[in-house]
Amino acid sequence: MSSKSNKRDTSFWDKHRNKVFSKRGGWVIGKGVFNCGYDMMHDLVGEKSYMQVIILNATGRLPDRKLADWFEAVHICLSWPDPRIWCNQIGALGGTMQTSVVSATVAGVLAADSKGYGTKPLVAGVSFIQKALAAYTDGLSVAEIVSEECAKYGGKPIIMGYARPIAKGDERIEAMERVSKSLGYSVGPHLDLAYQIEQMLLDKFNESMNINGYMSAFLSDQGLTPEEVYQICAVLVNSGVTACYLDAYGRAGGAFMPLQCEDIEYHGKPARGLSK
């Protein structure tokens, strides 16, 4: 463990020391701003939609306008101004604390980096349907796929992309089916399998697909990986959080769901004194 003898090879760090290496591009002062080979001010600004550039930054590939428009629509589906939703409530609590809009919005976005809702379940949803299609192609039946997934949770219908908390059914799927149709998309093999799985769950458990399931299958049909979907959707919930923040911010400080002392249920240690 001597720090003096046998000087170590630090060439990897020496190469990177005080230097920036970028595969994406950057600002070449006097020449322009470059992004994945595109000249941003000429090729992108005014030529491509904001969502196309978001996807370019998230994946390194510029998608066609149609896919970007689909993503824009699904962002509307997944961010509502209802402060009962967990991430939105954090926005509202920021509002009632009179934080800055950026602070509250970013806090809400960070909250949605959750395994329970928001962005991380998309990784699980896309992974599930891609593995399921591979298994289906290899000969597993839809019933077997459903049975294997449910077996992981003691036979309960817990499959990522199906069922949802609070309510049964998902109005967002109908809206996105409409968008997909209007953009000229047809049902691909992942979405087709997702519908078959849904039918099986409806028949056996009266549970249907949720927006995660629809989105995961649709985007798998567009060739995206789970990680790419997660990256594109990094700030998925931001606008609903901002709306909830502003609603609370516009009222007197502390007006959002104030609690009396007795609104908290204490079930810890009884009152005790310090031994001297």
Partner 1 sequence: MKKAKKVIRRDDPYAKKISTKIWHEQPSEQNPYIAQQSRCHGYDLIELVKERSYIDVLYLLFRSELPTKEEAVIFEQLLISFINPGPRHPATRSAIIAGVGKTDPVHILPIALSTLSGNFQGAGEVEPAVRFLRKNAKKPPEQAALALLDGAAKPAEGDWSIAPGFGSYYGGVDLMAEQLAQQLVALPGCGKLLSWGDEFSRALHDHQMGWLKTGVAAAVLADLGFLPFACASLYQLISAPGLLAHGLEYCKKPMSSYPFPEDKDYVIEE
Q: Can you give the binding site for partner 1, defined by CB under 8 A?
A: 1, 3, 8-10, 12-13, 18-23, 25-26, 28-29, 34, 100, 103, 106-107, 110, 165-171, 173-174, 177, 181, 187, 195, 198, 208, 258-274
Least separation in angstroms between CB 246 and partner 1: 18
Comparing CB distances to partner 1, the nearer of 100 and 141 is 100
Contact 141, 149 (CB under 8 A): no
Alpha-carbon distance values, 18 to 15, 22, 23, 27 (Å): 9, 13, 17, 17
User: If you search the block for the tokens 């609370």, which residue do you land on?
Assistant: 248
Least separation in angstroms between CB 208 and partner 1: 6
Contact 220, 227 (CB under 8 A): no
In angstroms, rounded to a whole number, what is the distance separating the alpha carbons of residues 73 and 180? 10
Least separation in angstroms between CB 52 and partner 1: 22
Of 124, 121, 87, which is closest to residue 237 (Cα–Cα)?
A: 87
Name the 3-class secondary structure at 162: strand
Comparing CB distances to partner 1, the nearer of 18 and 138 is 18
Least separation in angstroms between CB 106 and partner 1: 8
Tokens of 63: 């998608």
In angstroms, rounded to a whole number, what is the distance separating the alpha carbons of residues 215 and 125? 8
Q: Which amino acid is at 83?
A: P
Comparing CB distances to partner 1, the nearer of 126 and 201 is 201
Comparing CB distances to partner 1, the nearer of 170 and 228 is 170
Comparing CB distances to partner 1, the nearer of 79 and 210 is 210
Q: Backbone phi, then psi, for 47, in 5-degree steps? A: -105, -35
- Cα-based angle 234, 23, 233 (whole degrees, multiple of 5): 10
Comparing CB distances to partner 1, the nearer of 138 and 262 is 262
Write the DSSP assignment of 32-54 as a string of letters.
EEEETTEEIIIIITTTS-HHHHH
Least separation in angstroms between CB 37 and partner 1: 9
Comparing CB distances to partner 1, the nearer of 100 and 137 is 100
Least separation in angstroms between CB 138 and partner 1: 26
Least separation in angstroms between CB 123 and partner 1: 15
